[in-house]
Amino acid sequence: MSSTVSYEAAMFSANDFVSDPCPSNPLDQMVVEELRLPPTFAWGTATAAYQIEGGTSQDGKGPSIWDIFSHIEPSRTNGENGDIACDHYNRAAEDVELMSSLGVDVYRFSISWPRIIPLGGRNDPINEKGIAFYNNLIDQLLDRDIEPVVTLYHWDVPQGLYDRYKAFLNTAEFQADFIHYARLCFTRFGDRVKKWVTFNEPYIISIFAHLNGTLAPGHCVAEGTDTTTEPWRVGHTLILSHAAVVDMYTTEFHYSQKGDISIVLNGSFYEPWDATDKVHRDAAERRMVFYIGWFGDPIFLGQDYPSEMRAALGSRLPAFTDKERRLLSRTAPNNAFYGMNHYSTKYARTLSEPPAGDDWTGNIAESSVNKFGQEVGPVTAVNWLRVAPDGFRKLLNWVWQRYHLPVIVTENGCPCPGETDVQIAVDDKLREKYIGLYLDAISRAIYEDGVQVTGYYAWTLMDNFEWSAGYGSRFGIVHTDFDTLKRTPKNSAYYLKATFARRRQPAT
């Protein structure tokens, strides 16, 4: 079997839902302690442009790869698309008021690249109506004391760039266009935006979009993709484009704007499938390196790809030139924080057979159950997402010990069963407990382990278009009725407001 078929691919499947948790769910035995957090700890919520904005061609916006991918027949997105989504483009004022009522400190959102440069390129026209939308959004947030945290790229590359040169597959062209786009954003918004993210989850862009084909642009073996090399070429482009933009921001904008910039990496924590066997303990560590070290080591340490990856992948993994190494070394200290998207924990097991030609895990299988039949945690509304706060704490420690950067949890959350019905959705006790347990894990990481964690952004503000799962998977702390577009806060939204009022207390 090709290594492209993975348990992890269920992340973006529409067919992975749990109708009802087991009545004897061990979640009942897990207790939220409401442990304290620093007074300066920031809480917020996060979204992505394509998932909420709608207005797909409104006011001059150009198409992104997701506008095209979500209309392919047969559908790869559960028969749904983001043409309207939550209609945030026309309802931003309402949504800002909603966040203000919930006591949100921070709103992390992404800019739609084709909304402000419809064709995407450095020589293409700028859409001033798109610029105006984000200027107004930023101003409205600041008027309500909500800090805007802006992601430059959350998976929606302009289709124009994909048509010209296949986007990430041409490093030089993409890097030049991304620098131009980023400079435009810093110029127009950087007087008010003080925290920037270059890319959201480069791992997902590389693997899910350019190896197993579940995300736009859908590259996979069936589409004729060379999956032995393409994901690593894409990752290489993302690393170098990130570094180039960090370098540009540092030299051209930081002195006057005094902002911070970094990247957001996603990652599960991996426990060994059999903790008594060194082979599987090594496998768990290797999986962490292939997942996080792939991007983290060049970006945050300014060095080559991890040696474990070089040994396993050989010539499949691109080499950095001397000039690129100097760029990485120069920009590594300028990454101001580690953006962490995290949802769950898994078990990692070494495979006994030789790796597939397009292996991307380090020849490792992953699952929610270990050798002894123990589940890694209680299930939520999707089988891949288990409640495992201890794994989260271990991940915080792993990242801190490797990179020594302050951590912002830029995404975390879970879906609950039955959330299509608003009456069921608002009483989201599972989500409340999940959030509470994970905040306790952050507190322990800070006060017991010495990890510097400075913020927590819940994924997501409101139910939205969840990529290949369409509208079937709901992560919002606010319920969205996709017929009327009415927003209804769930109990977890009020819980977040109340728990941070309780937890953020000075040390006694």
201 is catalytic: yes
DSSP string, 267-298: --EEEESSTT-HHHHHHHHHHHIIIIIHHHHH
Token duo for residue 230: 């393409």
Q: What is the DSSP letter of 433?
A: H
How far is Cα 339 from Cα 337, in angstroms, rounded to an integer?
6
Q: Which whole-number Å values give the CA distances from 350 to 271, 293, 354, 365, 492, in the listed order?
A: 12, 18, 10, 6, 38
Cβ-based neighbour number of residue 316 at 10 Å? 19
How far is Cα 339 from Cα 197, in angstroms, rounded to an integer?
8
DSSP string, 81-123: -SSSTT-HHHHHHHHHHHHHHTT-SEEEEE--HHHHSTT-STT
Nearest to 104 by CA among 148, 48, 69, 65: 148
How far is Cα 313 from Cα 227, in angstroms, rounded to an integer?
12
Q: Is 138 helix (H, G, I), strand (E, B) or coil?
A: helix
> Which one of the listed residues 8, 173, 201, 230 is annotated catalytic?
201
Token duo for residue 28: 């009942």
How far is Cα 83 from Cα 88, in angstroms, rounded to an integer?
11
Residue 494 parent element (H or E): helix 491-503
Q: Is 37 helix (H, G, I), strand (E, B) or coil?
A: strand
> Which one of the listed residues 411, 419, 432, 466 is annotated catalytic?
411
Torsion sign across C-alpha atoms 156, 159, 160, 164: positive
What residues are labeled active site?
201, 411
